[in-house]
Structure 1
């Protein structure tokens, strides 16, 4: 949430960039001192954004050079008579946005003061750590204020944006609560509460005219809504709204902030948080349907947020403190942002006639991301902290996801040689699926389970099934089948467009082929076909480069320690080698001795799945 710098009495200190939307006024007399011209230009740039977001501050900088310098630009601007602003009728503000959300059809749902306090508490406990786009101290100050108190907004547009933000918080809070929690604290069934607050949030967004609003608070409300709606809808509505969010962010120039020097330290940091969370949402939406993200590498220059707690800065901060080493309020979000940025790099397919990154280059990039997670975001963490375990487990899952993208790209590919040893893909996919289930069932992730359940591991599942069509024996195979049999139907119910969607049909086809291969193998051993067998621990063969993450700090563990590693290990993580060397040669690793068949054309099998899934490119397969 972004705030203005110098609020006068009675004005809000809750939003970021709120002062940007006032009428642009430049005091040229105050700029007569040449030493202050550069600083004043930055203020001028910020004020101009209210009417020219699409141009950005780089336009004003270049224009000033063309007409004879900064001072000339400011003087000429002051001489131009500013036409009076035409204020639309407040009753018509939402008309242009009502075709998406029907603001006239539903009254805003205002909870009682007691219920409001519960919703705010659950939001900052269950949602805020995963969606760090608000500044908790100032956001709470506004949210906990009485609705009957004088408005803190200076314009009707700002007030409606604030109102949309309030209702987005309510909706996300209900989304994050358990069914028992909804009944205990709010006195109603979760399904009815979700529907009530979802419609109220949509009505508030419509009344804020979110399609045309230049209020940061309105975009924050829409982003929170989209983050929450993923838990309730598997159709394309959430996926489509991400594209709208990206466009609206572009209209506010969130992607062109650079190092943020055009804004106050507080405003710049909150704009960074909002933009980078949008990147994470865009990539997740693309993964849901195996499509390309709208945001691509090189299309933005906004720096990543700092590793700071909300309490480390406020709207009055003249500068931000130095970014911290170790866990902070931003740790989870920064891990997601860093991995998302890495994904944009390693998964980017350039225009034809340009070569993609080689596998060694992709490996180096992933290793760098893993190193940052270890040495910056999780430095000094202890295994006994449940919150740290949840964050670190998510980090490991995201790194495994990157390795899967390298080993089994989402585009058609023709390998020049067998690069990875047979079995490594199955090991990576099995580890991902097992760790994913461990996270969802852990008591430590209860408050965040609503968020984790939106991660459907279809890519890892498809990789595992492609491998299991050929690999029918060995401890790794048994481990893979155990995890798949436990989660297959559940994952299908959560897939994009449900089990009738584009991706699930070819996955079901792979499942039939893999089961047939398994049954044939079991029959050859005179064993009756079975759903799964007890998981066998994996030996410590090829190590997949991961952060030094821990098992659950308490209780018994169902996963082999070699799968996950140990936070307290004094040895650094070993990454997969760029070449298939002695360590990674299937014949030298007992994990792979059962299926060391280098003649298997793995990329052809994977390309067949991509063709069935509709993600196969019409261009010729690229070579590595």
Structure 2
């Protein structure tokens, strides 16, 4: 007789509790039936041996006999592809890696395809749309002919630091860029940076019209590709000038230009000077954007900017004479020459360091002469321009006028004043500061709203007029003339409404106190009318 037959039987839920659907304590009789006064029908069964009552675990299904072999075959095939590509291009690294980690396993027929066909299939499936070069070899360049065309028209006249004719050959014909092969990581990094910079200059409507994609999506995609490309060329440690060009273009949109050490070489001297001027301009923009002092000193732009010239003789590219044409030259550097004059004037007016003359008792006349000197020099640089016929010449002329108006305002109302500095106030009346601030805002708004500025509107967004708005709001609140106060309040309100799209959260924080005072200004003063001559330029400013 088995042992489990000798064991006491197991007491189960009685039939009565099971039928009544109540809990049973499995006694004889159970408590539930005793309290209810009904008969308890016990249920017993023999105890099963230990472990016999447990459910058997389902065994995992065995893998198909050929699955592991197929996986191994695919792994070997991919590895052979990588090795063959590395051996075929010893002068460059592999192209930008494609994300194959999330790809599904191809079918069994894919394992029998040739190496080239399988590679093309992976490229077509995972590469972003519009990011393959014309040869279709899987290299991520992101620079299409249309993007390069927009860059040449809208960015290159303002930031003339690249050689666009050589880039055209790289994009359209898959040729070399200077001494770099088409698939070289440096060429890819520059192409990605140009694409990202170009997208930042387009509006949302233009992105939808040109590329049928939202602007935010294009910005995120090209920003990621540019960061990946810059990481591959080790941009933090390299001394390659083309990598630095790509890095500067990548910094223009966020407008953060950290210090960058550059070694001096003869063949890159001209482009280095232009890059340095653009970096110093970004330094001014970043400091002004946050109301802080620039990192670079006022004498940082001692080196001149050389005019446009044929510079391809400095490079040892491939044995191809197509790049040595006269058209292959640096762009006209007029804009950065004008901005160099503006930077010198701004640093002299606003940065009052120990060696600056404004820290040793400079008077208002000398400060206004600095602004007037900028306008005179800038007009001399643009004397042969034709603003009515050439769009970029018109833009340069407008920028000079707006910059001169801003420098006049900074001369009267500097962004930073050293503690205890002797600053002349008796020369400039309160209404003068108010008039200069409003005139600058009107000039900027007129240029910003002009349809002709559209190709270069991205540049006007870099310099937000928070300082002029702050001065205008403070001065109109302190104005003692009711008629002037009413006129300027109405004008400032219109200008703030028109220009507030340029303001970010940082700028609104800087304007918080003046804006609160301005909003509390009585609405009744806005209905006051004044004569037109009250809004004209003060007489003593006409000397400058």
User: Please, what TM-score do these two structures have when normalized by structure 2?
Assistant: 0.64
Confirm whether residue 305 of structure 1 aligns to residue 302 of structure 2.
no
Aligned counterpart, 2:52 = none
1:116 paired with 2:150, answer: no
Counterparts of 2:301 and 2:336, CA distance in 1: 19
**Relative CO higher for 1 or 2, CA cutoff 8 Å, sep ≥ 6?**
1
Cα RMSD over matched residues? 3.8
Match of 2:396 among 391, 403, 425: 391
Q: Tell me the number of residue pairs that the alignment of Structure 1 and Structure 2 aligns.
A: 399
Give the unaligned 5+ runs of structure 1: 1-86, 95-105, 231-237, 254-261, 319-327, 546-573, 577-624
Post-superposition offset of 1:482: 4.0
Give the Cα separation in 2 of the matches to 1:436 and 1:143. 37
Change (3 A) 1:219 1:136: same
2:410 to 401, 405, 426: 405
Which residue of structure 1 lines up, in the alignment, with residue 277 of structure 2? 276
2:54 is aligned to none
Q: CA deviation at 1:119?
A: 0.5
Alignment equivalent of 2:543, drawn from 555, 561, 575:
575
Work out which of the residue numbers 312, 327, 341 in structure 2 matches 1:315. 312
SS in 2 for 1:517: coil
Q: Kindly report which structure 2 residues correspond to 1:25-424, keeping only aligned pairs within 5 A, or say none.
A: 111=131, 116-146=144-174, 153=179, 159-227=184-252, 229-230=253-254, 238-239=255-256, 242-243=257-258, 246=259, 248=260, 250-252=261-263, 263-264=266-267, 267-299=268-300, 301=302, 303-306=303-306, 308=307, 310=308, 312-316=309-313, 329-351=332-354, 355=360, 357-383=362-388, 385-412=390-417, 413=421, 415=423, 417-424=425-432
Q: Provide Cα deviations, 1:85-119, integer angstroms capped at 9, x if missing partner.
A: xx9x968x99xxxxxxxxxxx97875356871110
The answer on whether the counterparts of 2:281 and 2:343 sit within 8 Å (CA) in structure 1 is yes
Equivalent residues of 1:277, 1:337 under 8 A apart: no
Q: Which residue of 2 aligns with 1:97?
A: none
Summarize the Cα distance change of 1:520–1:197 in structure 2 as closer, same or farther, 3 Å threshold: same
Q: CA deviation at 1:218?
A: 0.8
Q: Report the equivalent of 2:478.
A: 470
Q: Report SS of the residue matched to 2:408.
A: helix
Distance 1:344 1:143, change over 3 A: farther
Tell me, what secondary structure is at the counterpart of 1:418? coil
Deviation at 1:305, TM superposition (A): 1.1
Report if the CA contact (8 A) 2:486-2:525 is conserved.
no
Provide the secondary structure at the position in 2 that maps to 1:128: coil
Matched residue of 1:199: which SS? helix
Confirm or deny: 8 A CA contact 2:361 2:422 kept in the other structure: no
Change in CA separation of 1:139 and 1:475 when aligned onto 2, cut-off 3 Å? farther
Counterpart contact for 2:235–2:243, Cα < 8 Å: yes
Sort the Cα spacing of 1:183 and 1:382 in 2 relative to 1 into closer, same or farther, 3 A: closer
Q: Counterpart of 1:74?
A: none
- Residue 226 of structure 1: CA displacement? 1.0
Name the CA distance, whole Å, in 1 between partners of 2:372 and 2:343: 14
- Distance in 2, matches of 1:151 and 1:492, equals 42
- Which has more radius of gyration? 2
Distance 1:383 1:476, change over 3 A: farther
- Per the TM alignment, residue 468 of structure 1 is displaced from its structure 2 partner at its CA by 0.4
* Alpha-carbon distance between aligned partners in 1 of 2:263 and 2:412, rounded to the nearest angstrom: 37
Match in the other structure for 1:461: 469
1:609 aligns to what?
A: none
Q: How does 1:523-538 map to 2 (within 5 A)?
A: none
Task: Give the TM-score taking structure 1 as reference length.
Answer: 0.57
Shift, 1:222, TM fit: 1.0
Structure 2: gaps (5+ residues) = 1-89, 98-125, 135-142, 316-330
Conserved? CA contact 2:363–2:424, under 8 Å = no
Which residue matches 1:505?
A: 509
The Cα of 1:286 is off from its aligned counterpart by 0.4
Report the CA distance between 1:535 and its aligned residue. 11
